[in-house]
Amino acid sequence: MKAMVLKNISAVEEKPRELMDLPEPVPGRGQIQVRVSTCGISRTELDEIEGRVSPSRFPMVLGHEIVGRVERLGPGAGKFRKGDRVGISWINWACGRCSFCLKGEENLCDRAKWTGKDAFGGYAQYTVV
Ligand SMILES: [Zn+2]
């Protein structure tokens, strides 16, 4: 699949993202694969590119304001059906067990993972969540 990939921190003016071919992501247990229709850009992406919020690894596919359609279901992913329109936000994963998660405040979870920072985001043809 085609993806715009950030390979390292640099000034935005240096256009550090690069169009690359990456393997199509395969949905794991409880995950869905989404064919990306569109993905917004926010200040967070600029902060990641310039290193104020550093991606957890490189290369990274940025983008966390994703809209698309479910393409494939991983094992046990029964909440959605193929073709459903879905949105994917900044929070990618939370533990579901800590005091914040149990209060519905997953964005404060110490173990949370973030779309486009810890997991590949939406500047690609497909993503999984
Ligand atoms: Zn938690």
pLDDT tens digits for 53-95?
999 999 999 999 999 999 999 999 989 999 999 999 999 999 9
- What is the pLDDT averaged over residues 33-41? 97
Q: Ligand 1: distance of its center to the CA of 91 in Å? A: 11
Residue 15 has pLDDT above 90, yes or no: no
What domains can be seen in the chain, in order of their start residue?
Answer: 2-25+40-67+87-128 (3.90.180.10)
| Predicted TM-score of the model (pTM) | 0.90
Per DSSP (E only), the strands in 1-76 are 2-6, 17-21, 32-39, 66-73
Residue 16 has pLDDT above 90, yes or no: no
| Residues having C-beta closer than 5 Å to ion ligand 1 | 94-95, 98, 101, 109
CB 86 within 8 A of CB 69: yes
Q: Ligand 1: distance of its center to the CA of 102 in Å? A: 7
Which residues lie below 8 Å from residue 46, measured CB to CB, with a gap of 6+? 12
Q: Ligand 1: distance of its center to the CA of 94 in Å? A: 5
Q: Ligand 1: distance of its center to the CA of 113 in Å? A: 10
Model confidence at 108, pLDDT cuts 50, 70, 90, reads: very high
Q: Ligand 1: distance of its center to the CA of 93 in Å? A: 9
Query: What's the token pair of residue 13?
Result: 């003016």
Residue 102 has pLDDT above 90, yes or no: yes
